[in-house]
Structure 1
Amino acid sequence: MVTVNNLLFESAVGFSIFDVKHQADAVGLELPEVKENIKSLDKFGKMVQLRSFNPWTSAQHGLEAINLISEGIMPDFLKQTLELNLPQTSGKKSKIVLGVTDKRLAGEISAAFPGIQCEAADTSEVVATLLRGIRVHASKLLKGLQEGDINRAQLGLGHAYSRAKVKFSVHKNDNHIIQGIATLDALDKGINQGSMRVREWYGWHFPELAKIVSDNSTYVKLVGLIGNKKTLTEESVDDLANLLNQDQGQAEAIVQAAKVSMGRDINDFDLNMLKDLASNISNMSDYRRILSESLDKKMGEVAPNLQVILGTPVAARLISHAGSLTNLSKYPASTVQILGAEKALFRALKTKGATPKYGLLYQSSFIGRAGPKVKGRISRYLANKCSIASRIDNFTDHPTKHFGEVMREQLEQRLEWYATGAKPMKNTEAMDKAIKAVMADNPTGLDIDVEMIDQHAATPKKEKKEKKEKKEKKDKKRKSVGGEDVEMADAGEDGEPKKKKKRKSIAA
């Protein structure tokens, strides 16, 4: 069994290093008297001794260190602590054995300090037991702490760590988009079903109104205003026109239709029930409009480029189906293309049939405007642009819609190319145009990625010139003599170039 010299204890208040004075073996830990010694501070205090205690400088400092440790990365603060408090040794025989909690962190420390051998609590029962005892008596073993400091630090750091893990960014929170589009779809379904029920119910009383007014939202508002058709007179035209966007002709048509209506009478109780239903549906329609405007604004903040290309509903449904904008940005374009058509894809693979060409992207206007023969090609091109746009939106600190506008212009030109053969814009030209627009429209003074600009700026002229010269040089070395390919090589003794014939083809 390896003898542990020191222990690293990570707590909510900082890093601590303990010297191990006495340890029991793995079998001895199961003895009742050893377990009692660990529970007792007097006896456990003789097994370990505090060597160094390094508290956090601030709550933010502690959160950053704990985040790194949770990912198996050694913080600089921990590295400095180990360098200052552990003796540096060289050689296998003189290695210091350090007990730590995390197995990944043990590997990081061993790689950074060749003279330290780490034993993780996952693999060593001795280390796990000793660290458990330190955690029980930490408030007494760590010097300079008052009663309750560790509990308060654990509570605050735990909440901060949970918030950091739950939300990726406060300003780019796509959870509201996912919930918003789901609520919008549920409202659409409820409004359509309720409007259909109002039309059918009120149609027994005033069937002619459904032929005059086709919009569901306007229809249910008119039901609440009209009530009993017998109450309509020439004086009601102005009130009806206010609901019909000042359409006097339509309002007069409703009044005239009420006078000669073939519908049957309705009692006051049923009419009140119908008005309440129409009022609820009208309120749902108003709330849907407010929610739609809020979703447009949120999409403009979180994914402006994707919004410009697809529109708010389709872009929001893509994010919702992927689970988050981060997940969507990690998908390849081929996955984005059929996102939403998974059942059709697996059914086609199972039956060896034709695989689907599009999923949620079918709702885009670009596929609707494309011809039947090029729908698959434009859907593949659209998925490519959506994949690029989602990555720009997700991994840019302050995304703008300029890239989306340029890529939408490319999509328009691609549709025109399929129809008329007009040459579309190249990708390099599109990206240069977008970068210039971002640099021109930069009111907050944010820095643009210099590497991206340099990469676009350094590509064209010099590389093209070198490629052209290399091609010309290669063409000069090859000549055609008597129908045979000849390669210019070193001249022979007679000054004539050596001929190198190619293999004759089978057809020849």
Structure 2
Amino acid sequence: MSSQPSLRQHQPCPDKPCVLLHVLFEHAAGYALFALKEVEEVALLLPQVEQSVLNIGKFHSLVRLAAFAPFKSAQSALDNINAVSEGVLHEDLRLLLETHMPAKKKKAALLGVGDAKIGAAIQEELGYTCQTGGVVAEIMRGIRLHFHTLVKGLTAQSASKAQLGLGHSYSRAKVKFNVNRVDNMIIQSISLLDQLDKDINTFAMRIREWYGYHFPELIKIVSDNYIYCRLAKLIGNRKELNEESLPGLEEIVMDSAKAQAILDASRSSMGMDISPIDLINIESFSGRVISLSEYRKGLQEYLRSKMGQVAPSLSALIGEVVGARLISHAGSLTNLAKYPASTVQILGAEKALFRALKTRGNTPKYGLIFHSTFIGRAAARNKGRISRYLANKCTIASRIDCFSEVPTSIFGDKLREQVEERLAFYETGEPPRKNLEVMKEAVVVAELKKQQEKAKKKAKKRKQREKRHLEALAAAAAEERENSLLDTTTETEVRGWGHHCAVHGPARWGMSSVPPSGADPRLALGQRFPNSESAHHQFKTIQTSVTSSFCHKVIIIC
């Protein structure tokens, strides 16, 4: 138990009357220290304060501003509010109290605070007697209501803006939300995985017992529950099993000898006959168990990928399932990172621990980490030693995963190598590498991998830019070819029409749309020109118009 001094509530000082001289108020704009009217007994202040809280004039007669220490920046405000919320005395607050609190009256004066934790920290480090509740709560209510009038130069609008900005910063720093690193999904996944294991085992045993009445020999041949359910659904009535069913049996059991044994057993089985309606129910229930088993496999892969995103070092060290169980038992990855190694070692063995403490027996050596491969590989005399060492490495890995900006499994791989070396040390006596050397090597490898990933991202972006550039060039070239082809086609058709008119004399024209600008209107009607000179004149007009606009297609009709 910590020996923190207890906070006073309403009791006066034993030696001489205590006077509540000052009240500390934490605001988003800074720390404010208010001086109060001197009253011999603190309890006498309560009715006066209650009557004057809503009246600014009366409240000003009881409370005046003694000192105000504004925060220098938004980051400073965030640091101070984090310290206050954790019950830690910040240097800014220490400087304010040491400067403006009366030193000679430390023992007699009371300091009113709103938070009991920060009051305990002030009382322990500076020696001021702090008080919470009662009249302090009423004074805090009045100060909060009239704060912008008590502090000169502070308006209600600026105070509201400071509170809003600090609220956003504090929430953002506390939450630090990242959808890819949410450990709640891991907690739910591992809980669902454990529940599925129990349910699938229960349902499979029910199918074994149910289908065993019809084909009891199958239980001895096949021990795996998932394969048994698939076989029960495939076989159905054992009397219908024949040589044509062998490929399907071999596909399920992956063994030709075992498939032949199932076929032979079905021919000489001592099981009872079964009705079609019973077979329908068995096959339907087998299908449900098979689908649950397949869903469990998908959930296992999901948990593996999620652990690789949230806690890659922990999963690389101890495995995805054991690491997820540690996170689930602790409540979150942050809670697990805050645990000491001694707590991680026995996490999950709380009942055995309390039983041992109650009976004064031996405490357990391991909890959930017993399911890791390291403890199973260690000799009996070394299980306790390797469990302590493994818990230490799990603590380091969880802290790296929790507080690192870019999750990586490099540190987990290096920590796993250390545990392997420790196992070898217990067996052969070969001294392992020091932790400092291994961590330096891991930092170098992590930095190299980070640079490689940056280079890959740059190369990928460069390829995308080049691809977009080539696509734009190809589109421009295609458009240019299309325009050139249209130009050539139009010019060829117009020249062919002129040659036809020169050879065959007067021509009759038809247009696919409105004739070009300057052409004879008779072109649209398909009329015959009186002579070749008139036709030649219209040809020149159309050639000029079509070549410039590329919008009309001439059809030659003789």
Same fold (TM over 0.5): yes
What residue in structure 1 maps to residue 395 of structure 2? Answer: 391
Structure 1 residue 10 corresponds to structure 2 residue 26? yes
Structure 2 counterpart of 1:38, from 25, 38, 53: 53
What residue in structure 1 maps to residue 474 of structure 2? Answer: none
What residue in structure 1 maps to residue 430 of structure 2? Answer: 424
What residue in structure 1 maps to residue 114 of structure 2? Answer: 101
Structure 1 counterpart of 2:83, from 46, 63, 68: 68
Going from structure 1 to structure 2, the CA distance change for 1:257 and 1:151 (only over 3 Å counts) comes to: farther
Deviation of 1:375 after TM superposition, in Å, equals 0.6
What residue in structure 2 maps to residue 492 of structure 1? Answer: none
Letter of the 1:71 counterpart: E
Give the Cα–Cα distance (whole angstroms) in 2 for the partners of residues 265 and 384 of structure 1: 58
Give the Cα–Cα distance (whole angstroms) in 2 for the partners of residues 354 and 103 of structure 1: 39
More helix by share: 2
Going from structure 1 to structure 2, the CA distance change for 1:207 and 1:40 (only over 3 Å counts) comes to: same
Going from structure 1 to structure 2, the CA distance change for 1:141 and 1:79 (only over 3 Å counts) comes to: same
> CA offsets per residue over residues 24-72 of structure 1, 9 Å max, x none?
76344454x76333234564355446786958965x7655432211223
Larger radius of gyration, structure 1 or 2? Answer: 2
Counterparts of residues 231-270 of structure 1 (less than 5 Å): 231-245=240-254, 247=255, 250-251=258-259, 253-270=261-278
Structure 1 counterpart of 2:450, from 428, 444, 449: 444
Going from structure 1 to structure 2, the CA distance change for 1:67 and 1:219 (only over 3 Å counts) comes to: same
Counterparts of residues 109-148 of structure 1 (less than 5 Å): 120-122=130-132, 125-137=134-146, 144-145=155-156
Structure 1 residue 229 corresponds to structure 2 residue 238? yes
Deviates more, 1:93-102 or 1:268-277: 93-102
Going from structure 1 to structure 2, the CA distance change for 1:356 and 1:153 (only over 3 Å counts) comes to: closer
Counterparts of residues 277-288 of structure 1 (less than 5 Å): 277-288=285-296
Going from structure 1 to structure 2, the CA distance change for 1:255 and 1:43 (only over 3 Å counts) comes to: same
Counterparts of residues 458-477 of structure 1 (less than 5 Å): none
> CA offsets per residue over residues 285-314 of structure 1, 9 Å max, x none?
222222322333344455555544543444
Give the Cα–Cα distance (whole angstroms) in 2 for the partners of residues 27 and 355 of structure 1: 51
> CA offsets per residue over residues 415-436 of structure 1, 9 Å max, x none?
6x3xxxx4423343x6525532
What residue in structure 1 maps to residue 455 of structure 2? Answer: none
Give the Cα–Cα distance (whole angstroms) in 1 for the partners of residues 60 and 413 of structure 2: 65
> CA offsets per residue over residues 306-331 of structure 1, 9 Å max, x none?
54454344444455556666557744
Structure 1 counterpart of 2:222, from 194, 200, 213: 213
What residue in structure 2 maps to residue 402 of structure 1? Answer: 413
What residue in structure 2 maps to residue 290 of structure 1? Answer: 298
* SS in structure 1 of the partner of residue 156 of structure 2: coil
Give the Cα–Cα distance (whole angstroms) in 2 for the partners of residues 344 and 17 of structure 1: 51
Structure 1 counterpart of 2:212, from 197, 200, 203: 203
Going from structure 1 to structure 2, the CA distance change for 1:229 and 1:35 (only over 3 Å counts) comes to: same
* SS in structure 1 of the partner of residue 25 of structure 2: strand
Q: Give the unaligned 5+ runs of structure 1.
A: 447-508
Letter of the 1:278 counterpart: S
Counterparts of residues 40-55 of structure 1 (less than 5 Å): 40-41=55-56, 43-44=58-59, 47-48=62-63
Give the Cα–Cα distance (whole angstroms) in 1 for the partners of residues 36 and 345 of structure 2: 63
Deviation of 1:221 after TM superposition, in Å, equals 2.5
Going from structure 1 to structure 2, the CA distance change for 1:166 and 1:219 (only over 3 Å counts) comes to: farther
1:218·1:244 contact (CA, 8 Å) conserved in 2? yes
Give the Cα–Cα distance (whole angstroms) in 2 for the partners of residues 255 and 139 of structure 1: 90
Deviates more, 1:290-299 or 1:41-50: 41-50
Structure 2 counterpart of 1:273, from 281, 293, 300: 281
Letter of the 1:72 counterpart: G
> CA offsets per residue over residues 107-135 of structure 1, 9 Å max, x none?
877999x9xx9774417x55433212223
Deviation of 1:214 after TM superposition, in Å, equals 2.2
Letter of the 1:383 counterpart: S
What residue in structure 1 maps to residue 104 of structure 2? Answer: 92
Q: Give the unaligned 5+ runs of structure 2.
A: 1-16, 453-558
Deviation of 1:282 after TM superposition, in Å, equals 1.9
Letter of the 2:155 counterpart: G
Give the Cα–Cα distance (whole angstroms) in 1 for the partners of residues 264 and 101 of structure 2: 102
1:403·1:431 contact (CA, 8 Å) conserved in 2? no
Letter of the 2:398 counterpart: N
Give the Cα–Cα distance (whole angstroms) in 2 for the partners of residues 120 and 355 of structure 1: 41
Give the Cα–Cα distance (whole angstroms) in 1 for the partners of residues 103 and 357 of structure 2: 59
Deviation of 1:205 after TM superposition, in Å, equals 1.9
Give the Cα–Cα distance (whole angstroms) in 2 for the partners of residues 359 and 78 of structure 1: 43
Deviation of 1:201 after TM superposition, in Å, equals 0.4
Cα RMSD over matched residues?
Answer: 4.9
Deviation of 1:188 after TM superposition, in Å, equals 1.5
Going from structure 1 to structure 2, the CA distance change for 1:69 and 1:368 (only over 3 Å counts) comes to: closer
Give the Cα–Cα distance (whole angstroms) in 2 for the partners of residues 71 and 172 of structure 1: 24
What residue in structure 1 maps to residue 42 of structure 2? Answer: 26
> CA offsets per residue over residues 137-185 of structure 1, 9 Å max, x none?
558878533599599949x93x986786688998766555444433322
2:314·2:394 contact (CA, 8 Å) conserved in 1? yes
Deviation of 1:198 after TM superposition, in Å, equals 0.6
* SS in structure 2 of the partner of residue 401 of structure 1: helix
Give the Cα–Cα distance (whole angstroms) in 2 for the partners of residues 348 and 8 of structure 1: 47
Letter of the 1:101 counterpart: G
Give the Cα–Cα distance (whole angstroms) in 2 for the partners of residues 171 and 133 of structure 1: 45
Letter of the 1:128 counterpart: A
Deviation of 1:202 after TM superposition, in Å, equals 0.9
